Chain A
């Protein structure tokens, strides 16, 4: 693993290794001194072409807990917004001596371009690219799922995967980098995935994806689901004819109070409700659902730091024992 660009590139062994190291890192977060010397003297650049305070501070906290130096390079108000190219920015970071680049970009594939070109040699971590992928979000989601799944079954989480788990991903699949990264990773870890969305918000080519596709959230929930992952509905979708209005969206595809009540009537909390944040309360998720004991929203945030510590550690610590990526879950034709 030279870069982390897509969860498609992660083998089962890679993914479990990241999650296992993240568990060790999570333990650091509970100590009084939340710091390890592992990356002392190394420089991590957070190169953010899109605003995302949540993701940036998560990576920043992760790098700092490993004692790395952190440079935050925000495109807003910098030379980048004055037309400097991705290439020039990358070469600048190379000249500065960046040891790793964490990139968030509005264009799908921008991190892959950095990794494939000779503009910069440093490992590249995709912190969300366009409507493509957000692999560390999927890893922190998998971490959260694994913690829940192993506790539920009374086994140790270390070394385990998500075999047998049923996960529903609900909402704007078409534009969601979180959904794509989660699908590949959850499949690699043995979970079953159902994508629930209005047909307008499913990619045209998703028929061949290794998941079940449903237009009916209630039927999916009634079928027995261990975790429901609600996706954020972006404001601009509401004005582009993907669905009639937010009221209808919320009624058909939102996790509202009625669905929470139906879930509470069926089980005693075994099904968890996830959201990558930031939430539109009252649209894709009701406040009662977001604040219920089933909600893992805050655990996801905390796990994000641990998982990003693990990724930076693996990419920068020079460990050569990592297994090679596998194509196991790559869909046909790729």
Chain B
């Protein structure tokens, strides 16, 4: 079922270019520029005054923890996708570490239909690589790929696919389904009991270190494996300068590897851990200033392909405790755009066109989403995010739609406000507030 409502967006700047009009009709972009207002459908259009605002393709997150099924106290598909819409997203990939684990067609279809029912964004389930995320037996990748959820991204995220033979087989097997293995790169023995980045700060704080080499050694192994078997590999949440170098080297050799960075790794460093406030506890951990700068440079030069939020909500009791007992993870859906604008756009490292590539086009291509990450052109699906780039706001976790209050950006003033989001032509966000869900076809 498509929406019959028509919207005339006036004066928005596609990818930051010159202002123009965009006519949204029947779920697609019906006209652009001077044609928009004169289009026959424009007569009944609701007018959105968006002069000066940036029009972007709806953002696509390749790395979201929606927690349902199993941890509905932390997040549900409904609350997580509301947060996604408010953050400017029109699609999210729901990570497989739910309970039960998304390692069968049944679970991924359940998550998929919960997403359809909610109607705020496209929810694309990620399938587990191995049964129960145990790293031993391959899960039913084919059944998940052929299910209604059409799974293309497979990941044991939270846990590294450590066994090199299991990783090799998984990389090979997903080729049959045009799939990709998204690796959480963490050498388990080198990170036993790890609490934070291993370095000068951990030495002072007396917290067990998570060394950069534990990430880099797995990435090095996996790019070589991907080269050997000719498969698609995606590296989740790259966090170190060394990882950027290894991926740059692999790409120069023609390895089919893509990489992601989180907004928090683009801004925050391990010095924040000196407070022992577990809101800064995350996996992979916050690294050093040198790493942050290398990640920004890698994102700017295309070594790192996409932003992935690794949105990881937790109930407050999981963070209101001593550091070692606290859960790892940070919320990120409702701050991603602002943090990337702050760290990448306002620093002059990328343009808004680059922003569209790293937050929409490239993640949609990796996840094989055909109707997301498209150009803002006539005839394309109307997945559009409008941003007031001049606005500034102070992050208040208690004002967010996610159930998680664990935002490390709490109290920070950041630029950029999502004003409107059109999800297949339907306004899920209007004037910075939640609109209405898009009612979907039968599910």
Residue contact A209 to B276, C-beta cutoff 8 Å: no
A8 to B204, CA, bound (A): 10
With contact pairs A105-B322, A113-B322 given, residues A334 and B274 touching in the complex (Cβ less than 8 Å): yes
Residue contact A203 to B324, C-beta cutoff 8 Å: no
Residue contact B204 to A180, C-beta cutoff 8 Å: yes
Residues of B within 8 A of A239 (CB): none
Residue contact B317 to A113, C-beta cutoff 8 Å: no
A332 to B199, CA, bound (A): 12
Residue contact B321 to A86, C-beta cutoff 8 Å: yes
Which B-chain residue is minimally distant from A105 (CB atoms)? B322
B391 within 8 A of A: no
Residues of B within 8 A of A107 (CB): 322-325
A208 to B200, CA, bound (A): 7
A97 within 8 A of B: no
A85 within 8 A of B: yes
A333 to B287, CA, bound (A): 13
A203 to B205, CA, bound (A): 10
Residue contact A334 to B271, C-beta cutoff 8 Å: yes
Residues of B within 8 A of A334 (CB): 201, 204, 271, 274
A171 to B96, CA, bound (A): 44
Residues of B within 8 A of A131 (CB): 206-208
With contact pairs A205-B198, A334-B201 given, residues A110 and B322 touching in the complex (Cβ less than 8 Å): yes
A109 to B279, CA, bound (A): 14
Query: Distance in Å from the Cβ of A183 to the closest Cβ of chain B?
Result: 10
A225 within 8 A of B: no
Query: Distance in Å from the Cβ of A209 to the closest Cβ of chain B?
Result: 7
B439 within 8 A of A: no
A 192-215 binary contact with B (CB < 8 Å = 1; else 0): 000000000001111111000000
With contact pairs A85-B321, A87-B321 given, residues A108 and B203 touching in the complex (Cβ less than 8 Å): no
A334 to B271, CA, bound (A): 7
B 75-106 binary contact with A (CB < 8 Å = 1; else 0): 00000000000000000000000000000000
Residues of B within 8 A of A331 (CB): 200, 204
Residues of A within 8 A of B204 (CB): 8, 180, 205, 331, 334
Which B-chain residue is minimally distant from A106 (CB atoms)? B324
A112 within 8 A of B: yes
Residue contact A116 to B277, C-beta cutoff 8 Å: yes
B 197-237 binary contact with A (CB < 8 Å = 1; else 0): 01111111111110100000000000000000000000000
Residues of B within 8 A of A116 (CB): 275-277
Residue contact B207 to A204, C-beta cutoff 8 Å: no
With contact pairs A109-B205, A113-B276, A205-B203 given, residues A130 and B321 touching in the complex (Cβ less than 8 Å): no
Interface residues of A in 102-133 (CB under 8 A from B): 105-110, 112-113, 116-117, 129-133
List 14 interface pairs A-B (beta carbons < 8 Å), by A numbering: A87-B320, A108-B276, A109-B322, A110-B323, A112-B276, A131-B206, A132-B205, A203-B209, A204-B211, A205-B202, A205-B204, A205-B209, A208-B200, A331-B204
**Which positions in B face A, CB cutoff 8 Å?**
195, 198-209, 211, 271, 274-277, 317, 320-325
Which 6 A-B pairs have CB atoms at the shortest separation, nearest pair first? A109-B276, A205-B203, A132-B206, A203-B203, A205-B200, A131-B206
